[in-house]
Amino acid sequence: MSEALSGGFDTPSVQSALAFRAAMTAMARPGRIETLAGAAAPAPVSPAAAVLLLTLCDAETPVFLAGAHDRDAVRAWLAFHCGAPLVARRAEAMFALGRWETLAPVADFPAGTPEYPDRAATLIVEVDELHPEGAGLSGPGILGTARLSLPEVAAFRANHARFPLGFDSFLTCGNRIAGLPRSTRVEAG
């Protein structure tokens, strides 16, 4: 139980404001890698994913945990620090956390509706490596093209084809994040 009680922000108002700015910068500048620190959730949740959860989730944001992230210690930590309800079905999630292969099939997550495209899910994808190389990115927030190591290209291309519907993603590795909104065009690297 002590694992659930520790690992939150020391100065929540300051740390959440800094984290929110870094998260929004990452999403507004696809391919740009930002650093997030100041939180520690139970394994296998990375420090960056823990900061995103503390900053973006609350009692009104249903969270889906996939694969190894769906364990009692992580559930208890989320309940204590965020109060976020946990859901068992992808279609009910506003946020999802896991490795790419355990989040599949990603098309099952909410993509919004034509009237409310903002009702789409945001995926927090834990990856082993996060580098500014690999797949080519273009679109809003990118001058020319950017590069980002992605776990897959086809699903992100299909997601962009649904724009303005589709999910948004944060890729996390250790204390680093990169944003990949549905508005970003993705090409093989």
Q: What is the pLDDT of residue 23?
A: 97
Please write the tens of the pLDDT for every residue from 142-177: 999 999 999 999 999 999 999 999 999 999 999 999
Q: Are strands 33-35 and 176-180 parallel, antiparallel or unpaired?
A: antiparallel
**34 in the Ramachandran plot: left (φ > 0), alpha (ψ -120 to 50) or beta?**
beta
What gap in Å lies between CA 33 and CA 76, rounded to an integer? 29
What gap in Å lies between CA 79 and CA 81, rounded to an integer? 6
* 189 pLDDT higher than 80: no
Domains and CATH numbers, the chain: 2-187 (3.40.50.11310)
Mean pLDDT confidence for 78-104:
97
What gap in Å lies between CA 24 and CA 178, rounded to an integer? 10
- Amino acid (1-letter code) at residue 62: P
Place of tokens 């700015």: 21
Bridge partner list, 144: none
Helix residue spans in 86-183 (DSSP H): 100-103, 154-161
Residues 6+ apart with CB under 8 A from 74: 41, 42, 45, 65
Mean pLDDT confidence for 32-48:
96
Q: What is the pLDDT of residue 91?
A: 97
What tokens does 186 get?
């993705």
Enter the pTM of the model: 0.95
* 101 pLDDT higher than 70: yes
